[in-house]
């Protein structure tokens, strides 16, 4: 009986251990509604804390007077074989290696692009029907996201390969035989953009993301919008406070180092001029003149300083007196 109890106890411990391991390995479930919605993300896991405590969160409302950047992002996009996945939160197309953007001289490699029904970022308070996010990462692990609004209009032929092959159910990535997609063709022709610092728009809401949102939208048809809505609808995070952030122009970052260098050169020049003036100036009276004996030299130095000072004052007053006489002579004449 005792032996049976020990075996039972051991079995219970084993079960508990396996259950704990299984629970620990399960990802935290999050979504867009109710107790697992955006306003609850920060409470679902310590790993999601930034979702509620972060100060540079995305998405944001891009104000009407936000500065517009010129089309200075270098896009090095190549067509990719189509691999599409329904991950339970969105439709995502994973991209082949070899495509990138260059921002501020740094290369970010394109990893994937995905969609949100009802745009996440808004412009002057107005959302787009959808938004596409092109996610990039540089060699240091930093992220840059190129965003673009999708508004209802003409059908997008460049998005047709993705729309035709969207999995209706959550599952593993599917490589579509013979299908390709071009990120370069999806983006608008005019690639001026807004820029700000932000975060991921899904848990864990990690900050330090460079956001580059196109000023011009992409058009999709009513049918394309409806097709996406049948699979995912309302998969967006509401806009977050800007706090102390600003929208800025990339050129400002480029000129900042040059301005700092110019200031440093100016300071160095001032220092050099001060040094030259110091070398050219006569020795101060506090220094012991060579002709004076060492003993009592300090007192003699003070007396000499007073004498020189008095002489200078007499010369100055004399100059003023001569100047006054000259003025009087001019008046008389």
Six-digit token pair at 304? 């000499």
pLDDT at 152 over 70: yes
pLDDT of residue 57: 98
Structure tokens at 40: 């609850």
Beta bridge partners of residue 102, listed in sequence order: 74, 107
Phi/psi of residue 79, each to 5°?
-60, 155
Q: Is the pLDDT of residue 257 over 60?
A: no
CA distance 124 to 255: 28
Report the CATH superfamily, name and number, of domain 29-256. Alpha carbonic anhydrase (3.10.200.10)
Report cis status (omega within 30 of 0) of the bond before 331: no
269 pLDDT band (50/70/90 cuts)? low
* pLDDT recorded at residue 302: 40
**CB half-sphere exposure, 85, CA atoms < 13 A:** 12
Domain-wise residue ranges, the chain: 29-256
- Three-state SS for 208? strand
* Helix boundaries (H) for 26-159: 41-44, 50-53
Q: What is the C-alpha separation between 48 and 95, in angstroms, rounded? A: 27
Position 105 scores a pLDDT of 97
Bridge partners of 136, per DSSP, are 110, 144
**Contacts of residue 56, Cβ cutoff 8 Å, sequence gap at least 6:** 197, 198, 199, 207, 208, 243, 245
The arithmetic mean of pLDDT across residues 153-168, rounded, is 98
- Judge whether residue 315 has pLDDT over 70: no
The contacts of residue 255 (CB under 8 Å, 6+ apart) are none
74-83, 174-183, 319-328: lowest mean pLDDT where? 319-328
**Secondary structure of 142-194 in HEC code, one letter for each residue:** CEEEEEEEEEECCCCCCCHHHHHCCCCCCCCCEEEEEEEECHHHHCCCCCCEE
Look over the chain and give the mean of its residue pLDDT values, rounded to a whole number.
Answer: 81
Q: Is 161 exposed, middle or buried (0-12, 13-18, 19+ CB in 10 A)?
A: middle
The pLDDT, as a whole number, for residue 276 is 56
The rounded distance, in Å, linking the Cα atoms of 213 and 195 is 6
Buried b (16+ CB within 10 A) or exposed e, 210-231: bbbbbbebbbbeeebeeebeeb
The predicted structure's pLDDT at residue 263: 54
Structure confidence at residue 85 (pLDDT): 98
| Of the listed ranges 53-57, 93-97, 260-264, the one predicted with least confidence | 260-264
217-233 pLDDT per residue, tens: 999 999 999 999 999 99
**Dihedral, CA of residue 139, residue 141, residue 144 and residue 145, to nearest 10:** 120
Q: Residue 38 pLDDT more than 70?
A: yes
Given a cut of 50, whether residue 291 has pLDDT beyond it is no
pTM higher than 0.85, yes or no? no
Residue 250's pLDDT band, with cuts at 50, 70 and 90, is confident
Q: Is the pLDDT of residue 310 over 60?
A: no
């Amino acid at each position: 009986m005792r032996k049976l109890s020990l075996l039972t106890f051991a079995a219970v411990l084993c079960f508990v251990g396996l259950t704990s391991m299984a629970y620990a390995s399960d990802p935290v479930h999050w979504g867009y509604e109710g107790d697992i919605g955006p306003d609850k993300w920060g409470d679902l896991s310590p790993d999601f804390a930034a979702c509620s405590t972060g100060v540079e969160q995305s998405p944001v409302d891009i104000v009407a007077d936000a500065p517009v950047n010129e089309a200075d992002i270098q896009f090095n996009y190549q067509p990719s074989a189509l691999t599409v996945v329904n991950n339970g939160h969105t439709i995502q197309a994973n991209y082949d290696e070899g495509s990138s953007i260059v921002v501020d001289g740094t290369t970010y490699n394109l990893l994937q692009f995905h969609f949100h029904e009802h745009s996440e970022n808004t412009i002057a308070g107005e959302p787009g029907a959808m938004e596409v996010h092109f996610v990039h990462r540089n060699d240091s692990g930093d992220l840059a996201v190129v965003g673009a609004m999708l508004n209802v209009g003409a059908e997008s032929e460049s998005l047709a390969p993705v729309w035709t092959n969207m999995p209706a159910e959550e599952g593993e990535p599917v490589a579509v035989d013979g299908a390709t997609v071009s990120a370069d063709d999806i983006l608008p022709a005019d690639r001026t953009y807004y820029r700000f610092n932000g975060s991921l728009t899904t848990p864990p809401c990690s900050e330090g993301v460079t956001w580059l949102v196109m000023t011009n939208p992409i058009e999709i048809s009513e049918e394309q919008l409806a097709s996406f809505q049948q699979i995912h609808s309302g998969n967006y995070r509401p806009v977050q406070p800007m706090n102390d952030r600003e929208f800025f122009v990339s050129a400002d970052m480029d000129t900042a180092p040059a301005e700092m260098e110019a200031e440093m050169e100016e300071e160095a020049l001032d220092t050099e001029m001060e040094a030259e003036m110091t070398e050219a100036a006569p020795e101060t009276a506090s220094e012991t003149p060579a002709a004076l004996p060492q003993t009592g030299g300090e007192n003699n130095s003070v007396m000499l300083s007073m004498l020189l000072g008095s002489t200078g004052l007499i010369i100055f007053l004399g100059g003023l007196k001569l100047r006054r006489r000259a003025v009087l002579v001019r008046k008389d004449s």
